[in-house]
Amino acid sequence: MQHKDLIFKKGEKFHHHYTVGNVIGDVTCSKARVAIHKKTKVEKAVKIYDKSTLGNLDHYMAKVQILNSIDHPLVLNYEEIYEDDGYLYFVSEYMRGGELYDAIIAKGNYSEHDAAYLVKQLLQSIAYLHSKGVVHRNLRPGNILIKDSASLNIKIIDFDFAGIKPAGENFFTKEDGNPVYEAPEVINNNYNEKCDIWAIGVILYYLVSGSLPFWDYYNYQVVEKVLSGKYDLEEADIWFFVSEDVKDLIRQMLEYDPVKRISAVDALKHPWFDILKKDNKKPPKDLSKALTNIYEFNAGTKLKQAVLAFFTKNLMSKQEVEQLTEQFHAIDKNGNGTLSRDEVMEAYRNIRGIYFNEEEIANLISRIDADNSGEIDYSEWMMTAVSKEKLLSTEKLEQAFALFDKDGNKQISYDEVVSLLQSVKSFDKNAVERAVKEIDIRGKGELTFKEFKRFMEKLFEE
């Protein structure tokens, strides 16, 4: 499983880098706030935790590592973690659309088309997690964030209850959760990854009907209803207006026996999702250019890889990220969160009119496939499909220079470059020193912006 480059800044002051804004969500219980980066002005979300409330800190950070191992466009990852004496600060993308829970409350219920669009994304992300042996265990509308108010694009969050299934073991130990979305076997403390499917079944029921299948005023009453396994798909008036296909999928997801319960992969094949085939979307904007960027990609030195990872994580605009993500989804036909050889070949054939043979496509993917998985992961796509011209624009380089220039003296030292790049897996400290010396014609151990620009241009010429 690939561990992406997470920037962990222990002992570094979060407030030196970010200005903290308004609370995101319910002010009475939310730990998340808007955070604006002081140099780039980019808005992020930050969750702030008092370390004394987390119990076993090592255990909690192990959960964070589960999240960091996940490389999927529908899972919201942490980008930076700051730690001081009393608090942990988890920085991530800011999802402006808020929680799906609030959207359901405001809307009442969704059309089957929109519900299918939402649930398909949930199943795609969960199918990916289950393929990696990860169980979310706390899926509910409050842990599903919407990209923005104008879309139905979502990401799942909150892996505090997640677990990795060891080889040969089927079940996990129960932690506290919300019984409304818990499967019977979770309540009985004897469950596996199929509990996530039950939770999605409850969410689907909620989306199309505007009500919950197992609901009461007190948790013990909810538990009794869940353990009974009985719910209504016929009596309430709303079910006269709901298709038999969606009812069938709900039944298969809320199957009491987890062995008989449908899997995420099989649920994605259910005929109800045919309702989405009528959309007939055109290829995303600039997909042809992205495919050209991949074809021309040269991994180069480890230093180049480290700089590219830093640039794509810190300097890409919201619009650039969204466009590349849309392109990724367009190529990922089976929705499993990775691009296979066949999917890449089909994209080049349909979009560029290029017909690769097996050897050619294998060579192309091997240049991009940093973790040797045999496929192109989401982060690998983002790093290689991005326009190098845009990354090396004066605007982007000025932003990068400001980030590297920690002391604000308008020059970048060797130590400042090392400080920002050392969190990246492919980082090579000696390569930084050699590269800086090659450009630093004055021999002062520091680069002006003009020299920094040349440093980057030369790096990407390799």
What pLDDT digit, counting tens, does each position of 113-165 carry? Answer: 999 999 999 999 999 999 988 899 889 998 899 988 888 999 998 877 666 65
> Which segments of 32-129 are extended strands (E)?
32-37, 43-50, 78-83, 87-93, 98-99
Is the pLDDT at 366 greater than 60? The verdict is yes
Instruction: Quickly tell me which residue has 């990922």 as its tokens.
Output: 332
Please give the Cα distance from 414 to 201 (Å, whole number): 54
**What pLDDT sits at residue 169?**
46
Q: What is the pLDDT of residue 203?
A: 96
To the nearest whole percent, how much of the chain has pLDDT over 90? 34
Q: What is the pLDDT of residue 177?
A: 58
Q: Is the pLDDT of residue 89 over 60?
A: yes
Are residue 60 and residue 105 in the same domain, yes or no? no
pLDDT exceeds cutoff 60 at 183: yes
pLDDT at 296: 85
Residue 165 φ then ψ, to 5°: -85, 110
- What does the pLDDT average to over 215-244? 93
- Measured at the CA of 125, the angle between CA 65 and CA 280, to 5 degrees, comes to 150
Convert the pLDDT of each residue in 270-313 to its tens digit. Answer: 999 999 987 666 778 788 888 998 888 877 767 777 788 778 87
The parent domain of residue 170 ranges over 98-279
Residue 435: band (very low, low, confident or very high) from pLDDT cuts 50, 70, 90: low
Please name the residue that has the structure tokens 């970048």: 412
Same domain for 84 and 24: yes
Give the total number of structural domains in the chain.
Answer: 3
pLDDT score for 155: 94
**Per-residue pLDDT at 13:** 84
pLDDT tier for residue 32 given thresholds of 50, 70 and 90? confident
Residue after which a domain boundary falls, among 257, 279, 301 = 279
Q: Are residues 387 and 373 in the same domain?
A: yes
CATH number of the CATH domain containing 36: 3.30.200.20
For residue 242, the model assigns a pLDDT of 94
pLDDT of residue 174 exceeding 60, the answer is: no
- Confidence at residue 56, expressed as pLDDT on a 0 to 100 scale: 82
Token pair recorded at residue 216: 């009461």
Q: Which two tokens stand for residue 8?
A: 């962990």
Check whether residue 80 and residue 118 sit in a common domain: no
Residue 428: CB atoms within 10 Å: 17
348 and 401 together in one domain = yes
Phi-psi sector, 25: left (phi>0), alpha (psi -120 to 50), beta: left
Q: What is the pLDDT of residues 184-206, one digit of tens each?
A: 999 988 889 999 999 999 999 99
* Residue 373 within a domain: yes
**Residue 359 sits in the same domain as residue 275:** no
Q: Would the pLDDT of 221 be above 90?
A: yes
Residue 456 within a domain: no
